[in-house]
Amino acid sequence: MSDSRARPQVPAPSHPWRLAYEGFDPAEEGIREVLCAVGNGYLVSRAAAPESRADGIHYPGTYLAGCYDRAVSVVDGRTVENEDLINCPNWLPFTFRPEEGTWFTGPAATEQLELDLRRGVLTRHALVVDDQGRRTRLTQRRIASQAQPHLLALETELVPENWSGRLEIRSALDGNVSNTGVARYRGLTGRHLVPDGQGADADGTLWLQVAAAGSPLRIALAARTLAHRGGAPLATIRTDEVREGLAAQVFVLAAEQGSPVTVEKTVAVFTSRDPAIGAPLRAARTLVEQAPDFARLVRDHALRWTELWSRCRIDADFDGIGTVRLHLFHLLQTYSEHSVDLDVGIPARGLHGEAYRGHVFWDELFVLQLLNLRFPELARAVLRYRHRRLDAARQAARAVGLSGAMYPWQSASDGREESQQLHRNPLSGRWLPDHSHLQHHVGSAVAYNVWQHYQATGDVDFLATTGAEMVLEVARFWSSAAVYDPRRGRYSIRGVVGPDEYHDAYPWSDRPGLDDNAYTNVLASWVLARALDTIDVLPGYRRDELLERLALDRGELDRWQEVSRRLHVPFHDGVLSQFDGYERLAELDWSAYRRRYPDLRRLDRILEAEGDTANRYKASKQADVLMLFYLFSAREVRDLLRRLGHRAGPELLRRTTGYYLRRTVHGSTLSAVVHAWVLTRSDRRASWRFFRDALAGDLADVQGGTTAEGIHLGAMAGTVDLLQRCYTGLEIRRDTLWLAPRLPSAIGRVELDLRYRGHWGVTLCVDRRTATVSLRESPQAPIRVGFRGSPTTVRPGESQRFSL
């Protein structure tokens, strides 16, 4: 095939409903595969070309929610065990050739890729020129059905431009795949699938089944490939090719110059984890046999996307609204109504790649704020994932001699700690101890998410049956972890790592962990106080049941009260200290390092490669202390600190923000989201710059190669939430929606629809002069809206306008 190609162009994120790429660029292929991936909450499939293989440029990958496998590797002489999200069998393989030609393996002479966000359809236009000069126009469309989540479909239209003759088409299912999508993991065990049968039935159905190497999981695929011209079936000669781990078919048909040939490949996917099936292979065969044609699949699929977009409408008059919708699109592809019954959490990198091994971190903290006010049923499913792993968290706490529940920093299938024991610095090539499992603040995030869900939904039933138990057990953990320091007359929480992650030990100590991380301690205090509130909110009978079941007596509750008011929070130079002893660290020579290194996002790796350590310096990877001002309003932070016995005036936020902003390298995509949020209160221009940086995070691959390994889902959700809650000033306190709009100068208007406490039709519109809350006709009760004063009641069918 010809190697001539169009020059790649920059994508067009400014288009409100389309992401488009022109030409082919090997260096950008991984980014495009991720950003143009299609999915439905059950699975996500990267946008690799159907004719491609994993070759260092392309990486076909399809990931099923919750499908993990555990494997053992030897690293630096040590045996380590990891649980990975499996790269599942490749359903895409499809190629063609004119008679006596070579199979098309890419690249095309010209190529355009377009993702239709409104309908969830990926379209590829290409011109293929073979070594004999025969030109074939190629148009491919693919979907991961939102209407039938077990179905994937690829439609290919081929138009011979200057030739006629026999056309051969090859369609396959390939189970001989491995997890090799992240370069730094390639020295570890990556083969997770074992062939478990393959074949081609008499009716033309291809099928393939694989087993996970380290678990009872089975994955089955069945495929139907049909050719037609203008809707009329084409006569073909079919040859089946079946060998271990691969099932393929070759079709031969007559092609005419200028006459389109359309081939539809429909694939059904099931696993042994799926509910309401017998055997996954039988289910896949049955579904693919019954599946409608591609046109009908697209119509039904597009209808579901229309419903989704109507339920998460957000409009703003600035040129980045297309990127905001791209972020929403990928959130809805990662977690949807099809995820609810699968017992899965929200992977930090979506279902789009293998970074972080597909594990669940605290990123749901950034996602659930969005889901609570759009799709509360999805938020509840995420929290139930955590509740099902509550016993594992209890066991983890007991293993370190503590009570309550200690949630893992990284979670996967069963709730055990999945954080790495070692990590490799690619700059030095050295394997280093990984202490990230000491980020116990993840448990506070779980409790915070439960409480925020209750505030947004008013769902006392969920709180009583599921949420309260998690909040109480996390509170119990913090109470047992707090150690009384008679010198200060306060309690300390020792040996932890905060959100910053650069600092995991004191430079003068040989033990890992830090003492009294401010974010950890203030949030622990908040959890203890909310746990006591939770007990008061519960119906009396349920309160008694939980107190008895958990053996919570008055003495323990009194300790919660005491610890919540007397946890130590360190200060220095008039600002909150990131942790106790922070003031003893050295100042980094920032100007020297910026001259030597154009990008300091991975300052920890740079310093380690130089034989130094980030633990020595006042330098942060991302927001740590400032996370408090992300989770809580400035007033709430002041109240929390005063409750702990500290003076906290209005100037504390400004001083603390400025101090850490000068010392943060934003090595995480979440950092830009948090800083955009926090700076809204003190520097709106700076807030807007960080917001734009957060929007560009994956689209521009600002971290240099990480997007190709999977989207940054927390940051994507965070950018949408900046429009939804931060810039509109939307806050839920008790039973009232409070508004304090602070639109950046670049945005003149934001309008969005919400679900709030049973109301499906709450519309909020904020512009330069007014904020309007409208409530559609509904059998639900009125809602309370607060703006600068006493709350106002808004009844169904009414609007309330507030003058700014």
Residues acting as catalytic residues = 501
Strands (E), 145-287: 151-160, 165-174, 193-200, 206-212, 218-229, 232-233, 237-243, 246-255, 261-271
Q: Using alpha carbons only, give the angle 187, 189, 194 rounded to the nearest 5 degrees.
A: 145
Which token pair is 425?
């610095």
Q: Round to whole Å and give the CA distance between 665 and 23.
A: 34
Distance of CA 471 to the CA centre of its chain: 23
Sorted by sequence, the CB contacts under 8 Å of residue 89 that are 6+ apart come out as: 62, 173, 174, 175, 177, 193, 208, 210, 219, 221
Using DSSP, state whether 104 is helix, strand or coil: coil
Q: Round to whole Å and give the CA distance between 692 and 744.
A: 12
Left, alpha or beta for 394 (phi > 0: left; psi -120 to 50: alpha)? alpha
Which token pair is 226?
């049909």
Polymer length of the chain: 804
Classify each residue of 146-156 as buried b or exposed e, where b means 16 or more C-beta atoms within 10 Å of its C-beta.
bbbbbbbbbbb
Phi–psi pair at 664, nearest 5 degrees: -120, 135
Is the Cβ–Cβ distance between 371 and 382 less than 8 Å?
A: yes
Q: Round to whole Å and give the CA distance between 473 and 394.
A: 8
Helix 651-661 / helix 669-679 crossing angle, nearest 10 deg: 150
Using DSSP, state whether 804 is helix, strand or coil: coil
Residue 514 per-residue DSSP state = B
Which token pair is 49?
């070309």
Three-state secondary structure of 428-469: CCCEEECCHHHCCHHHHHHHHHHHHHHHHHCCHHHHHHHHHH
Number of H helices, E strands in the chain: 21, 34
Is the Cβ–Cβ distance between 341 and 42 less than 8 Å?
A: no
- Enumerate the H helices of 599-664 as residue ranges: 603-609, 627-631, 634-643, 651-661
Q: Round to whole Å and give the CA distance between 779 and 757.
A: 12
Closest to 503 (Cα-Cα) out of 578, 558, 554? 578
Sorted by sequence, the CB contacts under 8 Å of residue 508 that are 6+ apart come out as: none
Q: Round to whole Å and give the CA distance between 631 and 669.
A: 17
Q: Round to whole Å and give the CA distance between 214 and 413.
A: 13
Please tell me the number of Cα atoms within 13 Å of 225 on its side-chain side.
28
Q: Round to whole Å and give the CA distance between 300 and 313.
A: 20
Cα dist. 461→377, 378, 394, 443, 468 in Å? 13, 16, 23, 22, 10
Q: Round to whole Å and give the CA distance between 361 and 349.
A: 10
Sorted by sequence, the CB contacts under 8 Å of residue 255 that are 6+ apart come out as: 98, 158, 160, 163, 164, 165, 166, 167, 261
Please tell me the number of Cα atoms within 13 Å of 503 on its side-chain side.
31
